A and B are shown apart, each in its own frame.
Chain A
Amino acid sequence: MKSSSEELELIRLYLDSQATTEQIQLLEQKMLNDNQLRKDFLAYARVDAALPYTLNNKQNENLEINQKSIFFHWSSWVSIAAVLVFLFTVNTGLFNSTSTSKKPNLQTIAQFGKLENCRWMDPNQHVSTGGTLQANDRIELSSGSADIHFKTGAIIQLNGPAIIELNTANSAFLTLGRAAVIADTEDSQGFSLKTPSSTFVDLGTAFTAAVAPDGLSRLDVTQGEVNLIAEHGHTPRLIKAGETMFVEPGKQKILTRMESGDESKSFIFPTIQPPSHNDYADASRGNAKVIVGKGILRKQSNWEVNPLSLLDGKGQSEPDSPQESVFLEKDNKGKFGNLLIDLGKAINIDKINSYSWHQHQLIKKANNRATQKFTIYGLGNEELPDLSISLSNTGWKRIARVNSDSFFDVKDYIDRPAQQACSIFASKGKIGYFRYLLIEVHGPTFFGEIDVFGDQ
Chain B
Amino acid sequence: MNPQEKEKHDQFLRLYVETESSLRGFVRSLVPTLEDAKEVMQGTAAVLWRKFDQLDSPKNFRRWAFGVARFEALSYRRDKARDRHVFSEELVIKLAKDAEDESDHFDLEEKALEKCISKLPGKQRILIQEAYSQGTRIDKMAERIGRTPMSLYKALHRIRIALADCIKADLKKQEGLV
Contact = CB atoms under 8 A, between A and B. Distances in A.
Nearest to A61: B114
Contact of B42 (A12, A21, A196): A196
A437 interface: no
B110 A213 contact: no
B98 A39 contact: yes
Contacts of A39: 98
B154 to A, nearest CB: 8
Interface of B is mostly: helix
A14 B94 contact: no
A249 interface: yes
A103 B29 CA distance: 32
Interface stretch (A92-100, A266-274, A309-317, A363-371): A92-100
Contact of A176 (B13, B47, B99, B145): B13
Interface in A165-222: 165, 167, 176-177, 196, 212-215
Contact of A102 (B134, B145, B165): B145
Contact of A45 (B28, B47, B85, B167): B28
Nearest to B96: A42
B133 A105 contact: yes
A105 B113 CA distance: 20
B9 interface: yes
Interface residues of A, number: 67
Contacts of B86: 24
A49 B88 contact: no
B28 A18 contact: no
Contacts of B9: 161, 213
B164 A47 contact: yes
Given A18-B153, A105-B130, A47 B46 contact: no
Contacts of B109: 46, 50
Contacts of B1: 406
B91 A42 contact: no
A92 B157 contact: no
Nearest to B110: A50
Given A42-B99, A49-B34, A136-B133, A249 B17 contact: no
B74 interface: no
A96 B123 contact: yes
Interface in A40-72: 40-55, 57-59
Interface residues of B, number: 66
Interface string B30-58: 00111001000010011111100000000
B28 A46 contact: yes
Given A12-B153, A25-B85, A142-B10, A50 B128 contact: no
Contacts of A14: 32
B50 A214 contact: yes
B17 A46 contact: no
Nearest to B88: A28
Interface in B128-177: 128-130, 132-134, 144-146, 153, 157, 160-161, 163-165, 167-168
B164 A1 contact: yes
Interface string A1-41: 10000001100101111100100110010011001001111
A55 B132 CA distance: 8
A46 B45 contact: no
Contact of A49 (B12, B37, B47, B163): B37
Contacts of B122: 92-95
A449 interface: no
B46 A104 contact: no
Contact of B91 (A12, A28, A55, A59): A28
A121 B17 contact: yes
Given A43-B164, A92-B122, A24 B87 contact: yes
Contacts of A215: 42, 45-46
Given A161-B13, A214-B46, A48 B126 contact: no
Given A49-B27, A214-B45, A102 B110 contact: no
A41 B113 CA distance: 16
A41 B118 contact: no
Interface string A205-245: 00000001111000000000000000000000000000000
A18 B33 CA distance: 10
Contact of B25 (A15, A24, A45, A136): A45
15 contacts: A48-B28, A51-B113, A51-B160, A54-B117, A55-B128, A92-B122, A93-B122, A105-B130, A136-B133, A143-B10, A161-B10, A177-B13, A213-B16, A214-B45, A214-B47
Given A53-B24, A105-B133, 5 more contacts: A15-B33, A21-B85, A24-B86, A24-B87, A136-B134
